[in-house]
Amino acid sequence: MKDEVWINGRIADLFAYQGGDEPVAVELKLTDWKTAVRQAESYQLGALYTYIALPILHVPKILRQARTLRSRNVGLLGVAPGVGGGFRRASEGEPSKTVGDPDVRELVEPAPSERFLPFLASKIVNDEERPKRRPTRMPRGWW
């Protein structure tokens, strides 16, 4: 799995591909699901399956648009707080406050992309030259 890979002129947040497996691209958003769908559609050239992932709190209103997601061959993942081992921010010294590992649920299953180009997927896997984007500054109190 790789994070922030270039596909079709855009940066996918996650890209998973292993040997003969089917490549998957995921676009992560906090709220703007319509932009995420457009981005996920552009990833369909380099990934057989594409998803958008949003916090579980925003999912109910998006599920009303499930037909739109299915017509564009885009899946939906809901991300909720979990009860795993926890996460520690790099700026903290010793772990004082932890957040559980996320629980990810597939809510809309994507259809395989009709525009998928297998040679592009293998190029994405082997492309190490592209720079990543600037570090994202999270808003205060997000944790």
Q: What is the CATH number of the domain that holds 80?
A: 3.40.1350
CA dihedral in degrees (122, 124, 130, 134; nearest 10)? -150
Structure tokens given for 122: 């293998």
For 82-120, the DSSP string reads --SS-B--TT-SS--S-BPPPEEEEEEPPPPPSS--HHH
Question: Is 30 inside a domain boundary?
Answer: yes
pTM: 0.75
pLDDT in tens, the chain (143 residues): 677 788 878 888 888 887 667 899 999 998 889 999 999 999 999 999 999 998 888 888 888 889 999 999 999 988 876 644 333 333 444 443 445 556 778 888 999 999 998 888 888 877 766 555 555 555 555 44
Separation of alpha carbons 108 and 53, rounded Å: 11
- Does residue 134 sit within a domain? no
- Distance, in Å, from the CA atom of 109 to the CA atom of 101, rounded to the nearest integer, reads 23
Residue 79's pLDDT is what? 81
Note the pLDDT of residue 138.
52
Is 27 inside any structural domain?
yes
Q: What is the C-alpha to C-alpha distance for residues 25 and 47, in angstroms, rounded to an integer?
A: 6
> Which range marks the domain in which residue 67 is found?
2-126
**Residue 143 included in any domain:** no
What pLDDT, on the 0 to 100 scale, is given for residue 104?
78
Question: Total domain count for the chain?
Answer: 1
